[in-house]
Chains A and B, each alone.
Chain A
Amino acid sequence: MRGLIVMMLAFLVGALSVSELAAGPEWGRSDGEVKVFGAGLTGEETMLVSTLLADPDAYVGKTVRVSGIAVGVCAHRGCWVNIASDVEGDVVRVKVTDGEIVFPPEIMGDVITAEGVWTANKLDLETTKQVCSHKASEEGKPFDPDSVTECMTLYQITGTGAVVQPAPPAKENSD
């Protein structure tokens, strides 16, 4: 009986030790008012979203870091965040692996700096129509599938980490 108990305890201790070693970075851990997601930020320099979007193919496969207001978050799993560009109306999406990083809706309106690999997904025509249909439905606009005749390339950052901090008190966004 004692042997069995010792064995069970050893198993538990083993599991604990392994988990200690495997413990990854905490989600949304706070450092004062700053929240860190995933691996946080490394040494990359922050670039303007507009620079990235001006020549998207030039950065495919490269690690990039951008910063801006978090203006949209995946409502289902928090698996993406849209970051506002310095050019009015434009956004860049940071997509993360479901469950690895979870962006909560509370970060909308805060300033987020995110890092990851810039990726291009070339869609076929059918998928392009589905994406356009979904977007139109989200915006409450009518959609005609026949109006889509060209395939789309979706660019996004495959995110590895991000830092979120409260927006400065100014209410207006920059032009």
Chain B
Amino acid sequence: MKKFRAVCRWLHRELGYLTVGLTLVYAISGLAVNHAHHWDANYQRTRTVEHIEAPGNGPTPEVTQVVLERLDLSEPVKNTWRAGDDQLQVFLEGAKLTVDLSTGEVVREGFEERPWLYEMNFMHLNTGKGVWTVIADAYAAILIVLAGSGIFLVKGRKGLVGRGGVLMILGILLPIIYALLM
């Protein structure tokens, strides 16, 4: 048992150090995406309103030209789309402009990747698949090893037969009870 405990300590220590970075990525991103219904975890979004002289709702090619001239944009235009009689949309890198052709109101909806968090969410959700699937699987396997080896790190009152055991049972019961109540 002494030897087994030593192996557990070794595994727990080595793998623990190895996975600090990944654990932080998954934990921070976990908090972010857990509240995806409250905020956009990947993009910072902005919405501003400005006005141009009303271009009127004539034929699309003419209206588009007038709108672009009046917007006087400094950034390149990706595309435009006549969404309706009264509406023209202008697509830019990182923004969409919705122009009300009758009133001249321009709503600019901008989006920009959240630095660091975008990449962390990308990894956490395994959006890219491919090679990250391998890394994520390895990390999951290591977590199982960490959980298993962690049980046997300490002996005595604070270990499995004492407080540690009680805490472990609580931690196991929590998801089981939730699953039963679902």
Contact = CB atoms under 8 A, between A and B. Distances in A.
A27 B129 contact: yes
A171 B68 contact: yes
Contact of A102 (B4, B6, B78, B127): B127
Interface in B131-158: 131, 133-134, 136-138, 140-142, 144-145
Interface string B1-37: 0011011000100000000000000000000000011
A19 interface: yes
Contact of A8 (B3, B11, B37, B61): B11
A15 B138 contact: yes
Contacts of A11: 141, 144-145
B89 A23 contact: no
A39 B152 CA distance: 45
Contact of B134 (A16, A75, A167): A16
Nearest to A14: B141
A86 to B, nearest CB: 12
B60 interface: yes
Contact of B83 (A18, A76, A89, A175): A89
A166 B77 CA distance: 11
A1 interface: yes
B7 A1 contact: yes
Determine chain B's interface SS by DSSP, over half rule.
mixed
Contacts of B83: 71, 89
Categorize the interface residue count of chain A. 35 or more
Of B85, B128, B129, B138, chain A has the most CB atoms within 10 Å of the CB of: B129
A77 interface: yes
Contacts of A20: 133-134
Contacts of A104: 42
A71 B89 contact: yes
Interface residues of B, number: 49
A89 B82 CA distance: 6
Contacts, number: 113
Contacts of B42: 104
Interface stretch (A47-55, A105-113, A146-154): A105-113
Nearest to A166: B78
A105 B43 contact: yes
A15 B141 contact: yes
A126 interface: no
Of B45, B60, B136, chain A has the most CB atoms within 10 Å of the CB of: B60
Interface string A1-41: 10011001001100110111011111111000000000000
Interface string B81-99: 1111100010111101000
Contacts of A43: none
Contact of B129 (A23, A89, A106, A172): A23
A37 B61 CA distance: 32
Given A16-B134, A20-B134, A172-B60, A69 B79 contact: yes
23 contacts: A1-B7, A4-B7, A5-B7, A15-B138, A16-B138, A19-B133, A20-B134, A23-B129, A23-B133, A25-B129, A26-B128, A27-B129, A29-B130, A75-B45, A76-B36, A99-B127, A109-B78, A166-B78, A171-B80, A172-B60, A172-B61, A173-B60, A173-B82
Nearest 3 interchain pairs by C-beta: A109-B91, A109-B78, A19-B137
